[in-house]
Amino acid sequence: MSLVIVGSLAFDTIQTPSERREKIVGGSGTYCSLAASFFTRPRIVGVVGEDFPKDVLALFKRKKIDVRGLEVRRGKTFHWEGHYGHDPNQRETIRTELNVFGDFRPKLPAPYRASDIVFLANIDPGLHNDILSQLKKPALVAMDTIKLWITTKPGVLWRALEKVDILFVNDEEVRLLTGETNLVKAAKKIQSAGPRLLVAKKGEHGAIVFGRDFVFGVLGRLCENVVDPTGAGDSFAGGFLGYLDKMGKLTRPNLRRAAVYGSVLASFAIEDFGVGRLKTLQPAEIEERFLEFRRLVAF
Amino acid sequence: MSLVIVGSLAFDTIQTPSERREKIVGGSGTYCSLAASFFTRPRIVGVVGEDFPKDVLALFKRKKIDVRGLEVRRGKTFHWEGHYGHDPNQRETIRTELNVFGDFRPKLPAPYRASDIVFLANIDPGLHNDILSQLKKPALVAMDTIKLWITTKPGVLWRALEKVDILFVNDEEVRLLTGETNLVKAAKKIQSAGPRLLVAKKGEHGAIVFGRDFVFGVLGRLCENVVDPTGAGDSFAGGFLGYLDKMGKLTRPNLRRAAVYGSVLASFAIEDFGVGRLKTLQPAEIEERFLEFRRLVAF
C-alpha cells in the first residue's frame, strides 16, 4: 500500500521545567513521517522556508521518505513555541509564526494521487476537501486535529469528519469536540458523524481505539523521564498508520497492533528533544518495546 | 489463608449531577468486605450505631463475612456526604459526622489475631500500631489512605508505611504524598519507605502495580454510565486482597490477576448507588468481566 502524510514541518522552541531549546526541527508531518518510516515509505506533503536545515531533508531521504511533495519556498519556516509544566500534559502555546505555512495550499505530486492511505496531520480542516479531491480513491482517510481548530472552526471540522475513516485526538480534545465528559458517549457522537474508528490518545494513560463494534485499549508505557512531549501524538499516528500501510489490511488484530506500535513510537519520541530519539532509533528497539508493552498488561 | 479488614461502616449521602441519595449504606469496610466475599470469608472490624440497618448485617452473614469484630454501639453511625461533578473523578466532601466512629479503638476478637492478611482500610494511621500489635504475625499488611490523612498527619502516615507491604492509593494521592508528579519516581519514593508493592489506582484509566522489580498495568473498563463512584477504591482492594487470600501465594501471576479482579469488582461497584450492585452480583458475572478485561488489552 502507500501512505501520504499532509502536515507541518516546523521549528519548535520548547521550554520544559528543566530546559529550553530554541528552534529545533519539529512539526506534525516531520514526527509522523519519521515514525512511519520504520514500517513503510511514507510520502510527505508540506512546505518549508529556505532556512529549513538541509541535513533534515537528507535524513528524510536516508529514511526513504518520499519528499517530492515537499515545497521549499522563499521565506521562513513555520515557528511554534510551547512551554510545558511539571505535568507534561500541561502545554501552553506561547507563539505561532505561520510564515510560509500561512498560505500553504497542499499540492499532491501526480505519483501521490493513487495513495491508499492519507493522513491529514493537524492542518486547517478547510483544506481537507481540496486535498481529498486530489486523491483518486484512498482506502483510508485519517486525520488529527487540535484545540485550535475545534474552537475556531467547529462547523468546518464536523463537516470534514464526514469524509474521515480514522480520527486521532487526545481525550481533552474528544471532550471539547463533543461536549461529552464520558469517553464512550463522546466516541459514539464522533462515530455517528463519519469516522468508523476513533483513536483517543490519553498521554501517559495510553490510548483507546473505538471501533463500530469493538474496543481496544493500550496502556501507556511508564516513563520516568519525559524529556519533551512534543510530537508524541504525531509519532503515534505515524507508527499506527505506517504499520497498517505495511500490513495492507484493516483487520482487528492489525488495528490492535497498530495502536501498540503507535504507542511504542510515541514512547520513544518523548525521550529526547525534537526528533532526536527518532533519528537514532533502531528497528530492533521497536520490537523489543512492543514486547515490553505486552508484558506490562499480560495476565 | 485469612483476611481481616479494619475500616469504616457508614451512611453515605451522595449527590451526583443527576441524582441524590440520602443515607445509603457505605463505608470502606463495607465495600471492601463485600467485594472480598466473592473470593474468601473476610473478617471485619468496625463500629456502627444502633441505627445501622439490620438487613445489612444479615447480608454480611449471608455473604459469609465474619462480623464478630463488628461493634454495635449506642449512638449514630458515621455519616459522610459527598458530591460528584460531571467528571466522576471530581469529588467534594460536604460533611463528615464521625459519630460512634469518632472514638473507635479497633479490637480484634481472639480468633482474628492469627489472620494472614490485614487490610487497614482508610482509617487514622495513628491506629495502625495498635491494630498491628493485636495481630500475631500477619504475612501481609495492606493499607489504603486518603487526602485527609496525607494532609493532616503526614509524619504519622510515613512512619505507618514502614510496616506496610502493600499500599493502595489513587494517583492524585500518590502525588500529594510524595510531591512527585511522575508516577514512577513517586512509586520509588514510597517503596523506599517500606511497602514492597504500590497499587496506584487511576480511576477510569485503570491501575498500576509497582513491585520491587516488576510493573503491571490494568486498563480501566470503559463504562458509559458511572452511577456512583463511591467505594470503587475499596471494592478494588477487596477484590485484590480477597483473591490473594484465596490463592494463598504472592506470586507475580497472582498479583497480576488480583489487580484485574480488583478492577472487575470496582467496575461493578460504580454501576449503582452504594453497594446495590455488589449485593446482586453473581460469581459468573465476575468471571465474564475478567475475560472482558483480557479481551480489551489483548494483542
Residues in chain A: 299
Confidence of residue B245 (pLDDT cuts 50, 70, 90): very high
**Which residues in chain A are contacts of B217 at CB distance < 8 A?**
219, 222, 296-297
pLDDT at B14: 98
With a cut of 90, say whether residue A217 has pLDDT above it: yes
The pLDDT assigned to B89 comes to 83
Q: Where does the pLDDT of residue A106 fall: very low under 50, low under 70, confident under 90, or very high at 90 and above?
A: very high
Query: Chain A residues with CB inside 8 Å of B215's CB?
Result: 222, 296
Tens of pLDDT, residues B88-115: 888 999 999 999 999 999 999 999 999 9
Q: How far is A64 from chain B (nearest CA, A)?
A: 29
Q: pLDDT at residue B216 above 90? A: yes
Window 254-273 of B, Cβ < 8 Å to A? 256-257, 259-260
- Interface predicted TM-score (ipTM): 0.93
Answer yes or no: do B185 and A224 touch at CB < 8 A: yes
> Which chain B residues are within 8 Å of A219, Cβ to Cβ?
206, 217-219, 297
Report pLDDT digits (tens) over B6-33: 999 999 999 999 999 999 999 999 999 9
Which B residues 92-131 touch A at CB under 8 Å?
none
Is there a contact between A43 and A66 (Cβ–Cβ < 8 Å)? Answer: yes
Residue B223 Cα, gap to closest chain A Cα (Å): 7
- pLDDT of amino acid B239: 98
Search chain B and give the residue with CA nearest A258. B299
pLDDT per position as a tens digit, A108-120: 999 999 999 999 9
From A184's Cα to the closest Cα of chain B, the distance in A is 5
Decide if B222 and A208 are in contact by the 8 Å CB cutoff: yes
Of A181, A222, A253, the CB nearest to B215: A222
Split at pLDDT 50, 70, 90, the class of A130 is: very high
User: pLDDT value at position A249?
Assistant: 94
Q: Which helix (H) or strand (E) holds A157?
A: helix A154-161
Closest-CA distance, B191 to chain A, in angstroms, reads 15
Segment (H or E) for B191: helix B183-193
Dump pLDDT digits (tens) for B227-244: 999 999 999 999 999 999
B-facing residues of A in 13-52 (CB < 8 A) are none
Q: Is the pLDDT of residue A88 over 90?
A: no
- Chain B hits for A217, CB-CB cut-off 8 Å, are 219, 222, 296-297
Question: Which residues partner with B80 through β-bridges?
Answer: B12, B96
Contact flag A205-B205 (C-beta cutoff 8 Å): yes
* Mean pLDDT estimate for chain B: 96
Angle ∠(B290,B296,B297) on CA atoms, nearest 5: 105
Give which of B55, B144, B66, B52 is closest to B101, Cα–Cα: B52
User: How far apart (Å, rounded) are the C-alpha atoms in residues B212 and B27?
Assistant: 31
* pLDDT at residue B40 tops 90: yes
